[in-house]
A = this chain, B = another copy of it.
Amino acid sequence: MTAILPQAVESLLRVFGKLPGVGRRTAMRYVLHLIREGDACVAELARCLDDVARQVTLCPSCQGLSTDGRECHICLDPQRGPESVCIVAGIADLLAIEATGLYQGRYFVLHRLLSPLKGVGPASLGLGRLFERAQQGSVEELVLATPLTAEGETTATYVSRTVAHLPVRVTRLAAGVPVGGSIEYLDRLTLSRAFEDRKEL
């Protein structure tokens, strides 16, 4: 196949193929689409990528996405106090919580979860500055919104133990039956949690 396509196309295929869930077939669809749409379309994508590479940085306060080394929109928002910090594993989780419109505090994005097997220790989470803020008394509640997986639970436990001696309220997202989900097909662990955490009506 290599000889059929121009080298530039092969390179683009290879790089597209590194995106999550993109195999050679999908990469080919993208490349052919871009070539069909013409140079302007390809150049636009290249320019957008350049902008991201040059401008996007992690917010020094929350490790969320920001630009040019500044604090992000959420951390700069005067309506969102520093008292409540929701700890999430990634930007996608932050966006999902923002989409509910329920939470008015700030975030802290870990970008990874504790995993001794993968060599991810506490130091690589970048939580130092958040713990400092907690120690200085500017944090009242830490909402642990890491996933309910082994790594997510380990990370949540680590955070709650680290701040246990501080006057900080530590909460964890409720586990249970998803809204609209059937009981019948729910996995055993979730169902057990839903049972244990059942609420008085």
- Specify which chain B residues have a CB less than 8 angstroms from the CB of A91 in the assembled complex: 32, 35
A73 and B3: CB pair below 8 A?
yes
Residue of A16, A52, A72 contacting most chain B CB atoms (<10 Å): A52
Q: Indicate how many identical chains form the complex.
A: 2
CB of A4 within 8 A of chain B?
yes
A30 and B19: CB pair below 8 A?
yes
Interface residues on A, range: 35 or more
Could you list 26 examples of A-B contacts with CB < 8 Å?
A: A1-B98, A1-B99, A3-B73, A4-B73, A4-B94, A5-B65, A6-B55, A6-B72, A7-B67, A8-B51, A8-B52, A8-B54, A9-B52, A12-B49, A12-B51, A19-B30, A19-B33, A20-B33, A21-B29, A28-B92, A32-B91, A32-B92, A35-B91, A42-B50, A43-B53, A45-B49
